[in-house]
Structure 1
Amino acid sequence: KELRRRKQFTKPSVQRRTELLKAVYRMKKFGGDACNVLVLCR
């Protein structure tokens, strides 16, 4: 089990980034204005 857990370890920074990207996607898709909420708008 320990090996399995270590194999799919993701860095906290990467986890946070994917979380933010998902949030941006959701905001765009479901009618929120993501650009005003988050700085990470491209």
Structure 2
Amino acid sequence: MVINVSFTNIVGKTILTQLEDNFTYHDFKALVSEKIDSAA
């Protein structure tokens, strides 16, 4: 279990790093909020 959690954290950080390369996390949050608003 501990290994799985650690692996997930590493993968999560890697994905976040790749996202930050494309656009800022703030832009990502705004994009998600936009989709949630339009879906509501």
Give the CA RMSD over aligned residues.
2.7
State the Cα distance separating 1:32 from its structure 2 match: 6.0
Corresponding residue for residue 17 of structure 1: 9
Amino acid at match of 1:20: G
- Return the index of the structure with the highest Cα Rg: 1
Partner of 1:29: 21
TM-score, normalisation: structure 2? 0.51
Q: Which runs of 5+ in 2 are unaligned?
A: 33-40
Identity of matched residues, %: 4
Q: Greater relative contact order: 1 or 2 (C-alpha under 8 angstroms, separation 6 or more)?
A: 1
Structure showing the higher helix proportion among its residues: 2
Q: Normalising by the residue count of structure 1, what TM-score does the alignment of the two structures yield?
A: 0.49
